Amino acid sequence: MQQKKAFWEALYHQLASVKLTVILLLALAVGSLLGTLLPQGLSPAEVAQRFGEETARWINILGLANVFQTTWFQMLLVLLAINLVVCTLDRLPKTRRRLRHSEKQITPERLEKFSLHRELKLPGGLENLRPRLEQVISREFAPLKPVEGTGSYGAVSEKGRWSPWMVYVVHLSVLLVLAGALVGSLFGFKGFMTIPENEQSSQYRLRGEQRLAELPFTLRLDNFDVTYYETGAPEEYRSDITVLENGEEVMKSSVLVNDPFTYRGITLYQSTFGSDLATADVQFTGGKPETAAEVALGYGETVALPNGDKVHLMRFARNFSGFGPALAIAVLRQGEEPVASWVLADRPGFHGNEVGGYKVEVKQLEQRYYSGFQVRYDPGTWIVYTGFTLMILGMGLTFYSSHRKLWIWADEVVPGTTRMMLAGRSSKKGPDFERDFERLCEDIRKDLAEGEKEESNPS
């Protein structure tokens, strides 16, 4: 029982230590570094092909081709989160106690023990000096709060009491970013969809899976446009889209790079584009009985010729083995096996432009664009963004503010002479506060001494 308690206490101390924080930060740095050595997301087969079986085995055991999804990397993040929470639970009550601590008694002996203290001997009685002292300190530092003591005068003054809390804001912000990422990965999705011009679709492919999923609405690509600078570099990619619900148009919008479109929480990003074949006008000559016909073939379409044979446009190649655009055309004749062949569109005289007894000539190709969209739903984004905002605010405030406190004790040791003891402490140690403290003491000395002179010689 005793041992068990000791174990938990030791574990708590480990989890609440800054040492663990530093170790975790450096371990995450090393882990992330490992994640940039190999291209991430390679499949085990690709790894084996590139690095050989033996190396691949180690790469797969350590997850080097997928570092950021491995258990060990995510455990480091979880440990960091636990470390942050335990540190906060451990230190927050201490900070609270320190700030709530009320001064009982201020004595010169106690103030002398401060590393930053100064003693002043001032002409004048305490009763006369007191209002001016309070005036100077509230002007140059913060209002003085008297502390009831024994006989003599004691007071404290403090600035930036909120400052010690700010470091907790920064730590909370890190937790929020991690939590937001977790929410996003649990409840969100990422996918990809392509739509050809003038077609509509509501299907997208989930990332990392072969599965197709369905959007709660339908999109139609009305127009895709790409413009170029004179240099030939791309200037803008633009997809004009229409949202349809239950077959009715709901909204028109456009999607550009850096200007995504959001509907019902789902965001579409302009990602890729390309062109494919819309229709081809093809002339068929030959067959039995002999016929000559020009037909408009859509991609994947089958059309009947006047003599009863059917022709089918199977595939389209933008550049077939360096011979330019080509169509794969099949001829289907009743009672015979279908025959198919590639037909070169730009070389009408090519002897191979023959399929199933027909001489085939491509008269015109009509291409159309298709546009590729990244599709995303991430309910954790706003949590992450709240974390980002708090992180910057908290960091700025924690780095550039401090809790500064001043203790003052004074007594009229001899009638007409006051002995004063000042001490100061800042949550940020360093030369800045030392300088400010010295300056303040000097101002008090000058101000009170001069004020006393004026009062004693009312000329």
Partner 1 sequence: MTSSLTLSVTTFMYLACLINYLSGAIFRSRLLLRAGTAVGWAALAGGTLGLGLRWHESYEMGFGHAPLSNLYESLVFGAWCIMLVYLVLELRTRQRALGVFPALFAFLAMAYASFSTQTEIQPLVPALKSNWLIAHVVACFLGYAAFAISFGISVFYLATAKSSQNPHPKGMFALLPDRRTLDALNYQIIVFGFLWLSLGIITGSVWADQAWGAYWSWDPKETWSLITWLIYAAALHFRAMRGWRGRRVAWCSIVGFGCVLFTYFGVNFLLSGLHSYATQ
C-alpha distances out from residue 51 to 34, 47, 112, 384, 421, Å: 16, 6, 70, 38, 74
Residue that has been written with the tokens 């790469």 in this structure: 59
Interface with partner 1 (CB under 8 A), residue from 46, 223, 399, 435: 399
- Is residue 396 within the footprint of partner 1 (CB under 8 A)? yes
Min dist CB 128 to partner 1, Å, is 40
Please tell me whether residue 243 binds partner 1 under the rule CB under 8 A: no
Q: Residue 39 interacts with partner 1 (CB under 8 A)?
A: yes
Asked if 71 touches partner 1 (CB under 8 A), the answer is: no
- Which amino acid makes up residue 3? Q
Site string for partner 1, 265-284 (x = CB under 8 A): --x-x-x-------------
SS3 content of the chain, % helix, strand, coil (to 5): 35, 35, 25
Assigned token pair, 168: 């907790």
CA 410 vs CA 7, 130, 406, 414: distances in Å: 51, 9, 13, 12
For the CA atoms of 201, 203, 206, 210, what is the dihedral angle to 10 degrees?
A: -110
Q: Which two tokens stand for residue 257?
A: 């790079």
Binder among 1, 29, 61, 186 for partner 1 (CB under 8 A): 29
Q: Binding partner 1 by CB under 8 A: which of 75, 82, 292, 392?
A: 392
- Sequence letter at residue 243: V
Stretch that binds partner 1, among 101-109, 240-248, 254-262, 330-338 (CB under 8 A): 254-262
User: Are 291 and 310 in contact, with CB atoms under 8 Å apart?
Assistant: no
Cα separation values, 258 from 23, 219, 224, 255, Å? 38, 20, 16, 9
Among the candidate windows 53-61, 134-142, 381-389, 409-417, which touches partner 1 by CB under 8 A?
381-389
25 binds partner 1 (CB under 8 A): yes
The answer to whether residue 257 forms part of the interface with partner 1 (CB under 8 A) is yes
Closer residue to partner 1 (CB): 235 or 336: 235
**Which residue lies nearer to partner 1 by CB, 42 or 331?**
42
DSSP state of 288: T
Q: Which stretch binds partner 1 (CB under 8 A): 101-109, 154-162, 291-299, 374-382?
A: 374-382
Q: Are 354 and 360 in contact (CB under 8 A)?
A: yes
Give the closest residue to 201 by CA, choosing from 209, 191, 210. 191
Residues 78-117 that bind partner 1 (CB under 8 A): none
Candidates 362, 384, 420, 423: give the one binding partner 1 (CB under 8 A).
384
180-209: which residues touch partner 1 (CB under 8 A)?
A: 181, 190
Cis before 196 (ω within 30): no
Site membership for partner 1, residue 237 (CB under 8 A) = yes
Binding site for partner 1 (CB under 8 A): 18-19, 21-22, 25-26, 28-29, 32-33, 35-36, 39-40, 68, 181, 190, 229, 231, 233-237, 256-260, 267, 269, 271, 374-376, 381, 384-385, 388, 391-392, 395-396, 399, 430-431
